[in-house]
Each structure stands twice: as structure tokens, then as C-alpha cells.
């Protein structure tokens, strides 16, 4: 995975993940109620940035995070030292090292978009969640990203980013709209399928500058893989950066980016 994973495993990426979790906490966790749960598993947890936020919201939960990357996990262990409520393990989300019916809640956040076989992960989550427990999938729909008026240099970079993620990494950057069919094919009972607007210039609760900074960092996180694999050029990167500068200076330009949150339940026998 390491050579193909679009975001890479740098220190900058770990800082981006922690900032991202904080920036997107309201759309990712808003409306979720964990008061009746005791245990939660997040697969693809990276440094544990989301688990850290869940721990603040639900201190009664025993939290487990799983990731393939030893680098991310090592940084996460250091960062989360002292949080006895959270344990991090190295494992493949497609073959989880837990018995059946182990957790009340299983989650993915920005994971399935990177995998060629996302159903394998959902199948494992449904196995390790208790009967009646929930599986909550929050994943991107990269078709939802856009500016008004259009910003061609940013769109060109975004198209290249998505092509690189799909063709080199083997993932699906538009997976949000497939979550329901994946889960129902595996026998899950869908409780809710919710569009989540994660970035919006119309959102007065968050600063425009911070939201643009987030989008810019997201697009930049693919640069190393995109340039190495021939999906982008330095000129495209400069044009994209200049377009973000121009948008920053033009408060009339609107932007948005959305995701889908699917909440489903493992049927009782």
C-alpha cells in the first residue's frame, strides 16, 4: 500500500490528519449518540485523531483503533500517551484480529475510498460488531467538490488527484454514493444514509480562510504521488496554488465539499 497510497505517510500528513479531524468534527460526529454503547472500533484510524475526538465526546467508551501503517500508529501511540481509554493495533481492516461480536460500534472515516475491495472491510466490521450493533461509514464523494464560479486550475488538479487515487491506488474517490448498496448486499440493515457537507463557504460557523486552508492541504497531500506517477506537473501545482490564493482574495467565490455517512445495524439472529 505504501507506494500507492495517495496521501503518503509523512509527518506533514500526520499533522494534516489531526487538523482535518478537528476541522470536520461537526459533520463527521454531529448527531451521533454513543450513550448506550460500551466499545467502539475504528478501522483505518491512522494516528487516532478521530478516536481522540470520540474520547472527548464519549469518555465512557473503550476505544480501539486499527491501521496498517506502523509509522502512523507509532506517532499515534506517542500522541495519545496517557489516554488509557484508547488502544491502537496494527492490522489489516480486511482481516481483523477480533472474535465475532466484539464491539458495539464499528466505524470507518475516510478509509474505504482507498481500497480496491471496500466490501471486505464492511464484511469484517459486520462480523466483529455485536448483533444489534452499528456500523457507521463516513466516506467521501469527490464529485461533490467544487467552486462557483469554477476554478479550472483547481479542478484540473482535483481530476488528476482522483484519477491517481483510483488508477494507482486502486480506490474509489466517489465511494460515498455506493455505501448503501455495499452494506445492504452484506445483509446490514440501513438506519440512515446522510449527506454530510464537510466544507462550505456558506457555513458561517467556520472561517473561510481555515476551510480554504484545509482544502488546499488536502489537494497538496497528493502531490508527491501524482508527480511521481505522471498525473500532474509542477506547472499544474503552481497554477492550483495560485488559484487558491485568488479564491482567498475573492470573498464572492463559493466552494463546497461533501461526504456521505451511512449508519447501519447488524441484524440480530
Ligand X SMILES: C[S@@+](CC[C@H](N)C(=O)[O-])C[C@H]1O[C@@H](n2cnc3c(N)ncnc32)[C@H](O)[C@@H]1O
Q: Please report whether residue 110 would count as binding ligand X according to CB under 6 A.
A: yes
Residue closer to ligand X by CB (options 25, 239) is 25
Residue 91's region, left for phi above 0, alpha for psi from -120 to 50, else beta, is beta
CB 118 within 8 A of CB 182: yes
Parallel, antiparallel, or unpaired: how do β-strands 129-140 and 146-148 relate? Answer: unpaired
The helix/strand/coil state of 132 is strand
Residue closer to ligand X by CB (options 44, 258) is 44
- What's the closest the beta carbon of residue 39 comes to ligand X, in angstroms? 18
Segment interacting with ligand X, rule: CB under 6 A, options 31-39, 67-75, 178-186, 197-205: 67-75
CB neighbour class for 181 (10 Å; exposed up to 12, middle 13-18, buried from 19): exposed
Q: Site map for ligand X, 115-154, x if CB under 6 A?
A: x---------------------------------------
Q: Please report whether residue 92 would count as binding ligand X according to CB under 6 A.
A: yes
Q: Which helix (H) or strand (E) holds 215?
A: helix 208-220
Q: Please report whether residue 87 would count as binding ligand X according to CB under 6 A.
A: no
CB 82 within 8 A of CB 74: no
Q: Please report whether residue 72 would count as binding ligand X according to CB under 6 A.
A: yes
Q: Please report whether residue 86 would count as binding ligand X according to CB under 6 A.
A: no
Using CB under 6 A as the criterion, which residues of the chain lie in contact with ligand X when the complex forms? 1, 7, 17, 21, 43-46, 49-50, 66-69, 72, 92-94, 109-111, 114-115
Amino acid at each position: 500500500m505504501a507506494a500507492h497510497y495517495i496521501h503518503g505517510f509523512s509527518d506533514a500528513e500526520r499533522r494534516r490528519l489531526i487538523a482535518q479531524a478537528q476541522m470536520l468534527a461537526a459533520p463527521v460526529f454531529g448527531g451521533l449518540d454513543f450513550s448506550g454503547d460500551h466499545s467502539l472500533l475504528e478501522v483505518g484510524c491512522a494516528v487516532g485523531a478521530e478516536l481522540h475526538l470520540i474520547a472527548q465526546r464519549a469518555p465512557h467508551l473503550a476505544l480501539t483503533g486499527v491501521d496498517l501503517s506502523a509509522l502512523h500508529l507509532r506517532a499515534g501511540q506517542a500522541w495519545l500517551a496517557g489516554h488509557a481509554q484508547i488502544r491502537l493495533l496494527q492490522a489489516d481492516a480486511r482481516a481483523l484480529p477480533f472474535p465475532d461480536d466484539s464491539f458495539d460500534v464499528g466505524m470507518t472515516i475516510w478509509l474505504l475510498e482507498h481500497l480496491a475491495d471496500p466490501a471486505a472491510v464492511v464484511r469484517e466490521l459486520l462480523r466483529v460488531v455485536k448483533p444489534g450493533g452499528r456500523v457507521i461509514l463516513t466516506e467521501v464523494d469527490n464529485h461533490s467538490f467544487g467552486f462557483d464560479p469554477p476554478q479550472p486550475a483547481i479542478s484540473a488538479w482535483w481530476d488528476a488527484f482522483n484519477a491517481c487515487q483510483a488508477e494507482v491506488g486502486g480506490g474509489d474517490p466517489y465511494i460515498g454514493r455506493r455505501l448503501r448498496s455495499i452494506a445492504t448486499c452484506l445483509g446490514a440493515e440501513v438506519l440512515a444514509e446522510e449527506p454530510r457537507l464537510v466544507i462550505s463557504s456558506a457555513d458561517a460557523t467556520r472561517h473561510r480562510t481555515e476551510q480554504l486552508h484545509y482544502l488546499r492541504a488536502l489537494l497538496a497531500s497528493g502531490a508527491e504521488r501524482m508527480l511521481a506517477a505522471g498525473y500532474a506537473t509542477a506547472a499544474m501545482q503552481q497554477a492550483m496554488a495560485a488559484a487558491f490564493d485568488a479564491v482567498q482574495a475573492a470573498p464572492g467565490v463559493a466552494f463546497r465539499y461533501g461526504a456521505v455517512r451511512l449508519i447501519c445495524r447488524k441484524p440480530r439472529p
